[in-house]
Structure 1
Amino acid sequence: MTAPIQRPRSSLAHSIYQLLNPIPFGFFVAALIFDIVYFQTAEMMWSKSAAWLITIGLFFAIIPRLINLVQVWIPRGRVVPGAEKADFGLNFIGILAAILNAFIHSRDAYAVMPSGLILSVITVLCIALATVIASTFYVPGRQSHV
């Protein structure tokens, strides 16, 4: 009996993913900081700036999420570790929270708080936890079933 052939991922897709994946997280962290400042000061500039940061973060999240979607759910003969699926799921929840947060931030004045702040925290925590899981339990090239 022969073992199934493990086809590697596309190097180009993986490189693009690794290049673009951290960018949205930076925008979402900055939006969280701006939301905290807005919650403390009620200066409208901070809320509008957070709305822009969330929107830009979502824009930059499109390509890495599509690459990750294909790598996790269309593996083409490759065994997908559980940690990679957990990473995908947490990023998916974080992106959904960010989309909802973008709609919340379209409100006027203080109607953004506290739901905007809570959604910013959920977004950042989900993506941070996904990054920790991916870096701790999943090492590219290692065959494991974590």
Structure 2
Amino acid sequence: MPDASLHANDASAFPMQSLFVPFPFVCFTIALGTDIVFSQTANVMWQNFSAWLLFIGLVFGALSFVAGLIDLLRRRTWPLRPSFAAILSYLVMLALGLLNSLIHAGDGWTAVVPYGLLTSAVTFFVALVTISLSIRKYARLAWRL
């Protein structure tokens, strides 16, 4: 019969930040899509979608940052923490998301075109870089490279 304490220890090694980290990536990516649609249609609904997506991404980004700090205190999650470059890239992505949210706080066409759209595209690019850096760390851990 398997020991129940082994399963409890395995669960404690799960990094809490993993629950929140994906949300900013998804929200910022969809915000780029809604910005593109807004630039093509000029329908204010798409600007509102972008603003809400940016807000939700920033809220979950803040939650993931707090959870990441808590994970630093948990010794069992140390092998699973991302590299310094991935953390720095993630923080840059969140800063760009905040800047983008401030740009989107304006009214009308100029709140999105051209600077909001450009900032969304740069945020998306930094998100791709962050994912690339994170995947390398987990691939090395999984394959013991």
TM-score tier (shorter): 0.7 to 0.9
Map 1:23-102 onto structure 2 (within 5 A): 23-69=23-69, 84-102=83-101
Q: State the aligned residue count.
A: 132
State how far apart, in whole Å, the 2-side matches of 1:110 and 1:86 are. 36
The one-letter amino acid of 1:26's match is: V
Check if 1:108 corresponds to 2:107.
Answer: yes
Question: Which string of whole-angstrom CA distances, capped at 9 and with x for unpartnered residues, describes residues 6-58 of structure 1?
Answer: xxxxx648432112211121111111100000111111111111001100111
The answer to whether the 8 A contact 1:68-1:88 is kept is: no
State how far apart, in whole Å, the 2-side matches of 1:139 and 1:62 are. 26
Q: Which runs of 5+ in 2 are unaligned?
A: 1-10
- Alignment identity in percent? 29
The answer to whether the 8 A contact 2:16-2:71 is kept is: no
State how far apart, in whole Å, the 1-side matches of 2:12 and 2:124 are. 27
Aligned to 2:6: none
The answer to which structure has the higher helix fraction is 2
TM-score (structure 2 length as normaliser) = 0.75
Cα distance, 1:65–1:35 mapped onto 2, change above 3 Å: same
Q: Which runs of 5+ in 1 are unaligned?
A: 1-10
Q: Which of structure 1's runs of 4+ aligned residues deviate more than 4 A?
A: 11-14, 69-72, 138-142
Question: Which string of whole-angstrom CA distances, capped at 9 and with x for unpartnered residues, describes residues 96-117 of structure 1?
Answer: 0110111111101011211111
Give the root-mean-square deviation of aligned CA atoms. 3.0
Aligned to 2:119: 119
Question: Which string of whole-angstrom CA distances, capped at 9 and with x for unpartnered residues, describes residues 56-91 of structure 1?
Answer: 11111112123335667x797x989xx711101111
Cα distance, 1:117–1:21 mapped onto 2, change above 3 Å: same
